[in-house]
């Protein structure tokens, strides 16, 4: 195995910051958050997965996809393409898996999404093995694990005084050229064990559609969007055209794409005011079906990585793992 001392790693990060946007886990208040950093001193190399999912650096909460201008000549439209090179450090396996889930829709399905795809290409992922799982983590039930290297360009495993380093892709190799590595006899410690959660495979969900469990579980739902906005795979969005300030008096507009969530009451509202998913139970059911039935059927991967953020942050303890246990039981009883 190859090893790098924490000090050398930090020095390397400070070099990277000169040429690229660097994003890493940083302590914000009481919790870690993936943030753009200006110095390696801001990085927290230890701790549980950050509070925000990595998706927000690829699929922005709000992003300008077009700008347009109206003048006497007519309408001029400009597409906004991201171009900056970026490096994400300390990416947790659940978040990297989340990006692979999103790739299935944003990149692998025609036509690919320009902004998302460009960002994925521009960004290197330096993964970090996760030895401090939270009580709500269950990534191992979804085919990943706290030491899953898949999808990363370089993978770091914490050991005393530094990290074991795996360079996995050509993008990683290019970045690692400046890394001061030494050979070591150290082996990665065994990953933490997580409590298994049963995942009902696609195809077994249809019979549960009319079950009372959805309405019962959702009765306490507040219809906020915490679960969706902290989810590494929730990807619904709305598109709006809004005016932007025009110092020269011209008419400028932007087309923005903004996060949306099926948990919110107005999400499914259609012209004329009808709401086909007006009940909270219908909305919770949609969230579960989307993750475990619709998305895998349509795009391949299951749209849950077991990161446990929604469980941890739901203000009223709607627990996706508990629901998965309950419906598996219902499905087996039938």
Partner 1 sequence: MTASLEIQNAARDLLERKKVDCVIGYEQGTHGHIRPAFIYEAEDVGRLIWNEQCTHNLVRYLIGREDIYLGIVVKPCDARAINVLMAENKLDREKLFIIGLTCQGIKVEQDYQARCQVCTERKPVIYDLLIGDEAVVSHDPAPAELLFEQIAQLPPKEKMDYWLEQFDQCIRCYACRQACPICSCPTCLYEREDALWVGAGIGLNEKRSFHLGRAFHLAGRCVGCNECERVCPVGLPISMLNQQLHQEMQNRFGYTAGLAETLSPLTTTLSPQEAGS
Which residues of the chain form contacts with partner 1 (CB under 8 A)? 28-31, 33, 51-52, 61-62, 135-136, 216, 219-220, 222-226, 228-230, 238, 240, 242, 256, 258-259, 261, 264, 266, 311-313, 315-317, 319, 321-322
Strands 2-5 and 162-167: antiparallel
Cα dist from 151 to 101, 148, 243, whole Å: 11, 9, 39
Nearer to partner 1, 126 or 221 (CB): 221
Instruction: Give the residue from 196, 78, 91 showing the smallest Cα distance to 137.
Output: 196
Nearer to partner 1, 167 or 287 (CB): 287
Strands 154-159 and 123-128: parallel
Cα dist from 71 to 68, 162, 240, 243, 251, whole Å: 10, 59, 21, 14, 7
Maximum separation of any 2 CA atoms in the chain, in Å: 71
C-beta atoms surrounding 304 within 10 Å:
32
**Three-state DSSP class for residue 126:** strand
DSSP state of 230: S
Nearer to partner 1, 29 or 190 (CB): 29
C-beta atoms surrounding 238 within 10 Å:
12
Nearer to partner 1, 27 or 179 (CB): 27
CA distance 76 to 25: 40
**Three-state DSSP class for residue 79:** strand
Nearer to partner 1, 31 or 286 (CB): 31
Minimum Å gap between C-beta 28 and partner 1 is 7
Per the listing, tokens 């692998």 go with: 108
Nearer to partner 1, 101 or 256 (CB): 256
CA distance 276 to 258: 22
Minimum Å gap between C-beta 230 and partner 1 is 6
Nearer to partner 1, 35 or 166 (CB): 35
Minimum Å gap between C-beta 96 and partner 1 is 21
């Amino acid at each position: 195995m190859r090893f790098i001392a924490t000090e050398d790693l930090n020095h390397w990060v400070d070099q990277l910051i000169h040429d690229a946007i660097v994003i890493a886990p940083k302590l914000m208040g009481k919790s870690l958050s993936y943030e753009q950093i200006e110095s390696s001193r801001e990085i927290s190399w230890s701790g549980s997965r950050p509070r925000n999912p990595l998706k927000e650096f690829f699929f922005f909460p709000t992003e300008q996809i077009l700008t347009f201008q109206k003048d006497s000549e007519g309408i001029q439209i400009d597409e906004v393409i991201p171009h900056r090179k970026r490096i994400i450090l300390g990416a947790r396996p659940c978040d990297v898996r989340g990006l692979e889930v999103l790739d299935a829709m944003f990149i692998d399905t025609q036509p690919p999404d320009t902004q998302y795809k460009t960002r994925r290409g521009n960004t290197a992922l330096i993964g970090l093995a996760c030895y401090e799982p939270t009580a709500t983590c269950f990534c191992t039930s979804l085919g990943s694990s706290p030491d899953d290297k898949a999808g990363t360009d370089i993978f770091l495993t914490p050991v005393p005084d530094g990290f074991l380093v795996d360079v996995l892709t050509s993008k990683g190799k290019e970045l690692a050229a400046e890394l001061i590595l030494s050979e070591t006899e150290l082996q990665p410690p065994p990953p933490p064990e997580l409590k298994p959660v049963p995942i009902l495979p696609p195809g077994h969900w249809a019979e549960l559609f009319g079950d009372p469990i959805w309405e019962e579980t959702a009765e306490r739902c507040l219809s906020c969007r915490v679960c969706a906005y902290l989810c590494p795979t929730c990807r619904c969005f709305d598109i709006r055209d809004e005016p932007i300030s025009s110092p020269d008096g011209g008419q400028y507009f932007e087309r923005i794409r903004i996060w949306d969530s099926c948990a919110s009451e107005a999400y499914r509202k259609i012209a004329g005011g009808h709401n086909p998913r007006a009940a909270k139970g219908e909305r919770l059911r949609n969230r579960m079906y989307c993750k475990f039935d619709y998305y895998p059927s349509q795009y391949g991967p299951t749209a849950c990585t077991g990161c446990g953020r929604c469980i941890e942050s739901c203000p009223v303890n709607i627990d996706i793992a508990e629901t998965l246990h309950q419906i598996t039981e219902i499905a087996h009883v039938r």
